[in-house]
Structure 1
Amino acid sequence: MITNERVRRPISDQELERRWAEVRKILAEKETDMIFLQGSNMHLGGYVRWFTDIPAEYNYNMTVLFPADDEMTLVRSSASPVPAWALRGVREIKYAPFCPTLNYSAESEVGLVVDFIRSRGAKRVGYAGKAFIHSAMMLSLLHTFPDVEFVDLSNEIDAVKALKSDEEMECARATARLHDAVWEALPAIVRPGMKEYQIRAELVRLATNMGSEEQLVFLGTAPQNTSCGMPTFQYQNRTVQEGDYGVLLLEVSGPGGYYCESSRNFSFGEPCKKLADAYQVCIEAQALTASMLTPGRPSIEIVAAYNKFVAERGYCQEGRLFGHSQGYDLVERPAFMCEDSRGNEDMVIREGMCCSLHPYLTDDFQTTYINDNFYVTKNGAERIHTIPYEMIIL
């Protein structure tokens, strides 16, 4: 079987080898025998795909065991086998019949990882992405290997993963072009009388037919002078009416699994003044923050500048995630979040990052949202989408 027959956009051998070489540098510097990591889905499972070009899917855990001096071993559920022709840099896959809803089956999954670490005689084991490693795994490893030192290497892996190679940016730009095409088609799709979930279905179908691998679509509509929010699929049962406006957020990956995000408001006819005014502030706020996407800047400074800008104009400040890097993961580091006593992002902006900036303003009278991706160069940020900034008038 030829890979290109089955995989829409396989990453190159050269790109995978570049990543593996960077990981081995980290293991050598940290005097670590191996690193392991887990993933269970595509939109927030990027560690697994970054190492293997094999996505973790359907919420079945996939564990990557990467020794400093050997090829990888993978642990997967036997419900989801990987064909031999898809394997690169992999010595062996160990399968077991486990499923996260069957709590007792975690023992068979964990047992394969325990056997591997024991067979290697590892004394210092790294891991990445502690939020993805399930408790059964870590509790068992710490209990079974009291003399092994487990070391969090997330910062080191994240620092490499955040900087996109030319090939990775080629994938990201292809995703941005896919988004642009969906936005161009939107006026031909949305019409009064449709349910919001029907609009979503048409957008997902279109993106899929253009090569998208996974689609998250947030959509809300409302009469003018009321807030529409940005509901998930569960809450998209409203029927669109003449004179309405709406917000659409596309979080859609392209061929190769690289994510972009894009969002705009749309309106049936001219928008009311409150909506138009807030939308203009969103445009200006994104321009301000994009101008601050320069190498060496802490992301917390960008969020502070944004919050000051919108507060001075009487709008809500951002207390959640204002922006972030993207790649195989929908949300990658660095994250753009306001200061938090429980922990702050310490990764600064660097040349080679692909970042999403999304001003979001909402109150009782309107909801506005703009989202675009920017590539960080040594001279500042380059927007990689071509869709106009203007609100879409239907």
Structure 2
Amino acid sequence: MGTMSVAERIRRPISDRELRRRWDATRELLEKHDLDCVFTQGNNMHLGGYVRWFTDVPAEYNYHMTVLFPADDEITLIRTSGSPIPQWGLRGVKEVLYAPFCPTLNYTADLEAGLVIDYLRKRNPKKVGYIGLASINAGLMKKVLTAFSNVEFVDITDEFDMIKALKSAEEMELIRETARIHDAVWSALPAIVKPGMYEYQIRAEVMQLLMNLGSEEHLLFMATAEPRKACGMSTFQYANRRVKEGDYGVLLIEVSGPGGYYCESARNFCFGEPYKEMQEAWDVAVQAQQLTADLLTPGRPAKEIVAKYNKFVAEKGYSQEGRLYGHSQGYDLIERPAAMASHEFGEETMEIRAGMNVSLHPYFIDKVQTVYINDNYYVTEQGAEKIHKTAPEIIIL
């Protein structure tokens, strides 16, 4: 195992050139703020993309993984000792520090924080940056701030998130491959879903196909119902309904492709022609998605998109989005900028820029139907280019 190369073992490794681009961009940010070091943390593949962005090594299985990126040296990783990283998988990493910590074992937060504190003490920094306060666990942050009361800590998340959101040509190649995997599953769906199947069986068939096509991580939400009843979108726990003739449903595919880059897509499906209320709602959802796709222009505040979406659908008599209407994607299922509905305690401050991979997902739910359409768009200087090729239509089984 020790003599294997990245290319032999990893289905789609990111290139050394791309990693160097990221490290160079980070060092420019450190130099701008006069930082000796920056650290960040992740604990899963779906929403732990900071770690993989730096290393091409995913954070996994809810165990915290910390990246320490100094201004004048290679990366140090801190990871639980339960899953050591083989040497052939480490690029740009000088050392990996291991300790037996686990988030459900409260006292082990001290082990994790102790390794970070030891690292920083050896470097005697004056100014340290951090990325993603919402991702860094409280045990680590509290211990570090207490140990270095004379060090200035600086939140550089906003600027870093913009760097991460602007995709290189190599990243976009991987994102387009992910979208092709999604499109292949939509083409196959009529051959998968049959009357008499349980929802959990449909999910299993879809997931197997996704894995065979090269998907790395898989999140599926699906539900079915009789006509003129809302089906919602449930998790696997609630997938024990048997599908029958005349039913309709919603399937949301949130999966990464080879290389770990996310897209997401959703469609309604039904046995036979859609009933009137669902088709009417679907047509409005398609219009709403196109309206917001046209708003994906450089310089536009992301929060403006959800406001205009909500105004449009409210005028049509459908449910507004109170949470998240759209967002950028990459190594994270959800990354900034986000078209997040306004909230009194905080809101998105980032703007749309050329180079972003943005997901838009109108979602209507009321007493007689559930409708959900979702596709990804690449933002250019001239506007948005749709990445998914599946037609914006209800899939007839």
TM-score normalised by L of structure 1: 0.99
RMSD: 0.7
Residue number in structure 1 paired with 2:31: 28
AA of the residue aligned to 1:12: S
Q: 1:82 aligns with which of 85, 88, 91?
A: 85
Q: Does 1:289 align with 2:292?
A: yes
AA of the residue aligned to 1:356: S
Distance in 2, Cα, partners of 1:147 & 1:50? 30
AA of the residue aligned to 1:176: A
Q: 2:163 aligns with which of 160, 165, 171?
A: 160
Q: Does 1:338 align with 2:341?
A: yes
Distance in 2, Cα, partners of 1:174 & 1:164? 14
Residue number in structure 2 paired with 1:387: 390
Question: Deviations for 1:39-60, whole angstroms, at most 9, x for unmatched residues?
Answer: 1100100000000000000111
Q: Does 1:199 align with 2:202?
A: yes
Equivalent runs, 1:35-50 vs 2, <5 Å? 35-50=38-53
Query: What is the SS of the residue equivalent to 2:327?
Result: strand
Distance in 1, Cα, partners of 2:307 & 2:78? 43
Query: What is the SS of the residue equivalent to 1:216?
Result: strand
Residue number in structure 1 paired with 2:355: 352
- Per-residue deviation, 1:338: 2.2
Question: Deviations for 1:142-163, whole angstroms, at most 9, x for unmatched residues?
Answer: 1111111111111111010000
Query: What is the SS of the residue equivalent to 1:127?
Result: strand
Query: What is the SS of the residue equivalent to 1:386?
Result: coil
Q: 1:91 aligns with which of 90, 94, 111?
A: 94
AA of the residue aligned to 2:44: N
Distance in 1, Cα, partners of 2:343 & 2:111? 39
When structure 1 is superposed on structure 2, of 219-228 and 294-303 the one drifting more is 294-303
- Per-residue deviation, 1:197: 1.1
- Kindly tell me the number of residue pairs found equivalent between the two proteins: 394
Residue number in structure 2 paired with 1:118: 121
Equivalent runs, 1:180-191 vs 2, <5 Å? 180-191=183-194
AA of the residue aligned to 1:230: M
- Per-residue deviation, 1:340: 2.0
Distance in 2, Cα, partners of 1:393 & 1:189? 12
Q: Does 1:128 align with 2:128?
A: no
Question: Deviations for 1:9-54, whole angstroms, at most 9, x for unmatched residues?
Answer: 1000010000000000110110111000111100100000000000
Distance in 2, Cα, partners of 1:131 & 1:340? 17
Q: Does 1:170 align with 2:173?
A: yes
Q: 1:54 aligns with which of 49, 52, 57?
A: 57
- Per-residue deviation, 1:212: 0.5
- Identity, in percent, stands at 65
Question: Deviations for 1:210-251, whole angstroms, at most 9, x for unmatched residues?
Answer: 110000000010000000001111111111111000000000
Question: Deviations for 1:74-117, whole angstroms, at most 9, x for unmatched residues?
Answer: 00011010010111111100011111111112211111111000
Distance in 1, Cα, partners of 2:388 & 2:319? 26
- Structure 2 regions of 5+ residues with no counterpart? none
Query: What is the SS of the residue equivalent to 1:280?
Result: helix
Distance in 1, Cα, partners of 2:111 & 2:342? 41
Residue number in structure 1 paired with 2:221: 218
